[in-house]
A and B are shown apart, each in its own frame.
Chain A
């Protein structure tokens, strides 16, 4: 296996792929966002409950590659319980980290910067984050 591959499929991604955080269907959630990539068929639902400006609860379910699944799992892990303001800051920090711009961001964000070496896989690292970001823009 090449070094670039090892960097992409490092333990943090493989771990979240195998044991994703908050991986369950919540059809009763206040807001359901669909993250879908028509090119590869990856499809996740993000189930959000926002109460008084706080992301009280967030889960996800669906199908995707190791990268997209792990990146969604990391999203759930970091955003659950945060205020919308904090969520926006973390989303911005995630995009900066994935783009390889140094940032004071949670350590496990950095794992996804390796996707940059695989241009076809960048979207996998940002699929759910992009959709959440679009939603945040639409409500603010």
Chain B
């Protein structure tokens, strides 16, 4: 069994702010001491640039940096460390695939398919490359509970479809997408699929090989790691088909004024000095997370979500946005007559951190005909007593806004 009371003790932010109730984990998670220590250790004991120096600490930095690649591969079930590209985050990973993988092959009249619930980061990179190449961005519709229609998807695929990009879990309302089925359907027509794992990787057991995902992308900071480090997993055949788009040091084989040749993947996608401390922090975060059973994490967060949902029903005017089931540890909601930002401000003044707004999904908000929602997102250090405290404050909101 997961012990959230003990897990909290690993996160110094809760020691510094004993009253903080942090329900904004879909935006970023808090950092355990071991991650902070790993970054400090790097800068204190073996800070050096990688892949170049022949002295001891440079060798150690390189070794630790490359070791994390294997750790990430193992963590998500990738066949090899060679399938793992370090990026600055989910957004950069998606942009890299859009520009490098699609940029090379997309032609006028081709199509890229995304869903209606995508984060702007899994929308705009495709929109821009489609625009540049005269291709079409098609949108898989969803129903009001966030379900995509696999039948519609099946018939919308054609020879022109060059890629499907889909989020594993909606950042806005937590809907879990049937990515295994989507990948199966797509592969029947040899269409590659990119899975945005930003919201799933901290809670779900991910096995990209078993899923047969072509691309899987995520950010370190949503699984207790530092900001500014992310991962692109890609199948070897796809990496081989991709050309580098950022050029400079640490990605070249031979350089002359006439021409240059490049290293093979993944190094050719990591030009310049990368976020070495971020990689080492990510490695520590994966070690930290790996001590817990993902099944137990999932079960606990499900229990917490169900508890919060049942208590939220007590709030006057509450309605859930999305689905009661098929959802991860995110609750998106509206309260009739009270703007999401007023709710977030009032909770914030009581040290309860939630998010309000459109959650970087404007087209989804347009579809739902909502200007925004309030969003609570949970992690392994959240407690039922924290939910109770939030409910207590929310019960006062109505009186504050409309008079008792």
Partner of B345, one of A42, A69, A120: A120
CA distance A40 to B342 in the complex (A): 11
Task: Determine if A43 is an interface residue (Cβ-Cβ < 8 Å).
Answer: yes
Interface string of A1-42 (1 = CB under 8 A from B): 110110011000010011000000000000000000011111
B140 within 8 A of A: no
**Which residues of A in the span 65-116 have a Cβ within 8 Å of any Cβ on B?**
65-67, 69
Are A65 and B349 within 8 A (Cβ)?
Answer: no
Chain A contributes a number of interface residues (CB within 8 A of B) equal to: 25
| Residue from the list A4, A5, A14, A43 in contact with B371, Cβ < 8 A | A43
Q: Which of B341, B372, B401 contacts A124 (CB 8 A)?
A: B341
- B139, CB-defined interface residue at 8 Å: no
**Which A residues lie within 8 Å of B348 (CB)?**
118, 120
A63 adjacent to B371 (CB under 8 Å):
yes
Which one, B339, B350, B358, B365, contacts A2 given CB within 8 A? B350
**CB <8 Å contact, B372 and A9:** no
Q: How far is the CA of A14 from the CA of B340 in the complex (A)?
A: 15
User: A39 CB to closest chain B CB, in angstroms?
Assistant: 6
A121 to B401, CA, bound (A): 16
* Residues B341 and A1 in contact, CB atoms below 8 Å apart: no
A121 with B341: CB separation less than 8 A? yes
Among B346, B350, B365, B400, contact of A41 (Cβ-Cβ < 8 Å) = B365
Interface residues of B in 373-403 (CB under 8 A from A): 396, 400-403
When the two chains form their complex, are residues A5 and B358 in contact, meaning their CB atoms are under 8 A apart? Answer: no
Determine the residue in chain A with the shortest Cβ distance to B350: A2
Known contacts A9-B401, A18-B402; A41/B357 CB under 8 A:
yes
User: What separation, in Å, do the CA atoms of A131 and B365 have in the docked complex?
Assistant: 24
Tell me whether B285 is interfacial, beta carbon within 8 Å.
no
Most A CB within 10 A of own CB, among B341, B362, B396: B341
Give the chain B neighbours of A1 by CB distance below 8 A.
346, 349, 396, 400
Question: Is B84 an interface residue when CB atoms closer than 8 A count as contact?
Answer: no
A40 and B372 within 8 A (CB): yes
Shortest Cβ distance from residue B287 to the other chain A in the assembled complex, whole angstroms? 35
Q: Is B356 an interface residue (CB 8 A)?
A: yes
Give the complex CA separation of A5 and B343 in angstroms: 11
Cross-chain contact B401 with A14 (CB below 8 angstroms) = yes
- In the bound complex, do residue B345 and residue A121 qualify as a contact, i.e. CB atoms below 8 Å apart? yes
* C-alpha gap A128/B167 in the complex (Å): 35
Q: Could you tell me the distance in whole angstroms from the C-beta of B345 to the nearest C-beta in chain A?
A: 6
- B371–A66 touching, CB < 8 Å: no
Complex Cα–Cα for A63 and B346 (A): 19
CB <8 Å contact, B401 and A42: no
Set B345, B350, B362, B402: member contacting A118, Cβ < 8 A:
B345
A17: chain B residues at CB < 8 Å are 401
The winner among A39, A40, A41 for most chain B CB atoms within 10 A is: A41
- Measured in the bound complex, the distance between the Cα atoms of B357 and A121 in whole Å is 12
Of B338, B357, B400, the residue contacting A40 (CB under 8 A) is B357
Q: Please, which residues of chain B bring their CB within 8 A of the CB of A38?
A: 362
Minimum CB distance partner of A9 in chain B: B400
Query: Which chain B residues lie closer than 8 Å to A69 at the CB level?
Result: 339
Residues of chain B with a CB closer than 8 A to A39's CB:
357
B361 to chain A, nearest CB (A): 11
What is the minimal beta-carbon distance from A50 to any residue of chain B, in angstroms? 29
Q: In the assembled complex, which residues on chain B have CB atoms less than 8 Å from the CB atom of A18?
A: 402
In the bound assembly, the distance between CA atoms of A65 and B365 in angstroms comes to 16
Complex Cα–Cα for A41 and B400 (A): 23
Across-interface contacts of B349 in A (CB, < 8 A)? 1-2, 4-5, 118
CA distance A2 to B401 in the complex (A): 14
Q: Do A5 and B365 touch (CB < 8 A)?
A: no
9 contacts between A and B (CB under 8 A): A14-B400, A14-B402, A18-B402, A40-B372, A41-B362, A42-B339, A118-B349, A120-B348, A121-B345
Report B's interface with A, CB cutoff 8 A.
338-342, 345-346, 348-350, 356-358, 362, 365, 371-372, 396, 400-403
- Which A positions have Cβ atoms within 8 angstroms of B? 1-2, 4-5, 8-9, 14, 17-18, 38-43, 63-67, 69, 118, 120-121, 124
Question: What are the 5 tightest A-B residue pairs by CB atom distance, in nearest-first order?
Answer: A65-B339, A41-B371, A65-B341, A41-B372, A5-B349
